[in-house]
A and B are shown apart, each in its own frame.
Chain A
């Protein structure tokens, strides 16, 4: 219960930051994608199921506020969370390389999917432009933000796990 509440607050917090503060400090109109960081991190830290549920809600909140059709972003982020969950078996909290790699790949594939469905299908074929001006800067920016956000998510997660273990011991 506590975990659900904390996760919900985390999603809300990331969305609020992304839509207000980070739009204000965006470099050249590009802002980082905190929700992808959150989805991917929860995916490889807690497993497929949590990843996909968190991804679903992260996408849904974007859909409601900024999507053309409800369910589009939800579907993409849900699969990103699920696929990141596949790596939960090889995840160790001390290792930063795997999480960074996964988050970068997640954001890259998110950008590619968005380009394909939102632009390529409307006949906008200038892929190099979109890659260099939107996808790549967003990826770099997101990577930089990950360096700060990921330890925070990890810290919250370990705190929650400790609290849960304590609760389980009391019950047992």
Chain B
């Protein structure tokens, strides 16, 4: 007799073996489906947005408050000294700024002359707070507290820091009504097309779990035939990347080695963003312009 047949007076129950088989098939189907469509993402993301995100938001705001208070106490002395140094720096920078503004005025007039669009114009941004991190230890992804309700979409770029020192954090890969998942550039499954700011040479920046503990990431395929690239040079996102907006600072060249093919170079990059102490990020609301196929 089949074990699934309902017996008199007994509640219907499915043996473990059968349930295991059914759920295995279900998981396999879901995995295959997610490769081609995002049919499950939307409803599941919405449900989770109301079930889990409010709690995460609450916990992280309490935790954030506590850690800020403790840090404040520890850092007050250091901050006073830093304040002095920064004041001097402000004076220097103000001078430099006036000079640069003159340059910029000239640049704008030249651009108008050449009818060029401003490449590095101010993008519209929205601030967001990190409320949770990847529950596993393999990848470096996190959740932020804004979603479609705030105008966020998949593939939008995420940066951190203020002013000119802002650096690339990653991009949004999944979005719910009030949360979004960001894969950071130091995550092992992330690759970014970059270029050297000084020479314009293209390279690939990829996250690496082995280097993550030293706070570094990897770059490869730098075709630097002139040998002009040196340690400390700035890397920005390239204009041929199909997800990232051009000209966002990624980091600085660390070590550099010639590959065994004697053509390309690879090595390590120090990211511009401090991923250890990241708690607030900015999302650029502009998407990279893509070519319709």
A residues sitting closer than 8 Å to B (CB atoms) are 12, 15-16, 18-21, 23-24, 28-31, 33, 35, 47-49, 52-53, 56, 61-62, 64-66, 68-75, 78-79, 82, 85, 114-115, 118-119, 122, 124, 126, 129-130, 133-134, 138
| Cβ of B108 under 8 Å from chain A | no
Q: Which chain B residues border A79 with CB–CB below 8 Å?
A: 20
The answer to whether A114 touches B138, judged by C-beta atoms less than 8 angstroms apart, is yes
The answer to whether A20 touches B34, judged by C-beta atoms less than 8 angstroms apart, is no
Partner of B34, one of A62, A69, A115: A69
Q: Which chain A residues border B40 with CB–CB below 8 Å?
A: 70
The answer to whether B45 touches A19, judged by C-beta atoms less than 8 angstroms apart, is no
The answer to whether B135 touches A15, judged by C-beta atoms less than 8 angstroms apart, is yes
| Cβ of B16 under 8 Å from chain A | yes
The answer to whether B137 touches A19, judged by C-beta atoms less than 8 angstroms apart, is no
| Cβ of B48 under 8 Å from chain A | yes
Partner of B31, one of A20, A33, A48, A70: A70
Apart from A31-B135, A53-B23, A71-B27, what are 14 other A-B pairs with CB-CB below 8 Å?
Answer: A16-B59, A19-B133, A21-B63, A29-B213, A33-B136, A47-B16, A64-B45, A66-B136, A69-B31, A74-B30, A114-B138, A115-B138, A129-B210, A133-B210
Closest to A51 in B: B16
Assuming the A-B contacts A19-B135, A71-B31, A133-B213, are A66 and B59 also in contact, with contact meaning beta carbons closer than 8 angstroms in the complex? no
Give the Cβ gap from A86 to chain B, nearest Cβ, in Å: 10
The answer to whether A52 touches B137, judged by C-beta atoms less than 8 angstroms apart, is no
Give the Cβ gap from B217 to chain A, nearest Cβ, in Å: 14
Q: Which chain B residues border A49 with CB–CB below 8 Å?
A: 14-16, 19
Give the Cβ gap from B126 to chain A, nearest Cβ, in Å: 21
**Dominant secondary structure at the A interface:** helix
The answer to whether B16 touches A119, judged by C-beta atoms less than 8 angstroms apart, is no
Partner of A119, one of B20, B45, B138: B138
Interface centre among B16, B29, B45 (most CB of A within 10 A): B16
- How long is the Cα–Cα vector from A134 to B209 in the complex, in angstroms? 9
- How long is the Cα–Cα vector from A49 to B22 in the complex, in angstroms? 12
Assuming the A-B contacts A30-B137, A70-B31, are A20 and B63 also in contact, with contact meaning beta carbons closer than 8 angstroms in the complex? yes
Q: How many residues of B contact A (CB 8 A)?
A: 47
How many residue pairs, one in A and one in B, have C-beta atoms under 8 Å apart?
Answer: 133
Q: Which chain B residues border A30 with CB–CB below 8 Å?
A: 137
Q: Which chain A residues border B134 with CB–CB below 8 Å?
A: 19, 23, 66
Give the Cβ gap from A140 to chain B, nearest Cβ, in Å: 12
- How long is the Cα–Cα vector from A2 to B14 in the complex, in angstroms? 20
Q: Name 19 A/B residue pairs within 8 A (Cβ), A-sorted.
A: A19-B133, A31-B137, A47-B16, A53-B19, A61-B48, A62-B135, A64-B44, A65-B52, A69-B34, A70-B30, A70-B41, A70-B44, A71-B26, A75-B31, A79-B20, A82-B16, A118-B189, A122-B189, A133-B210
The answer to whether A23 touches B136, judged by C-beta atoms less than 8 angstroms apart, is no
Interface centre among A33, A62, A65, A130 (most CB of B within 10 A): A65
- How long is the Cα–Cα vector from A28 to B135 in the complex, in angstroms? 15
Assuming the A-B contacts A12-B55, A70-B41, are A52 and B27 also in contact, with contact meaning beta carbons closer than 8 angstroms in the complex? no
Which residues of B, 165-200, contact A by the 8 Å Cβ criterion?
Answer: 181, 188-189
Q: Which chain B residues border A72 with CB–CB below 8 Å?
A: 27, 31
- How long is the Cα–Cα vector from A28 to B181 in the complex, in angstroms? 23
- How long is the Cα–Cα vector from A170 to B8 in the complex, in angstroms? 23
The answer to whether B28 touches A20, judged by C-beta atoms less than 8 angstroms apart, is no
| Cβ of B141 under 8 Å from chain A | yes
Closest to A56 in B: B23
Give the Cβ gap from A5 to chain B, nearest Cβ, in Å: 14
Partner of A12, one of B51, B135, B138, B213: B51
The answer to whether B48 touches A28, judged by C-beta atoms less than 8 angstroms apart, is no
| Cβ of B98 under 8 Å from chain A | no
- How long is the Cα–Cα vector from A129 to B214 in the complex, in angstroms? 14
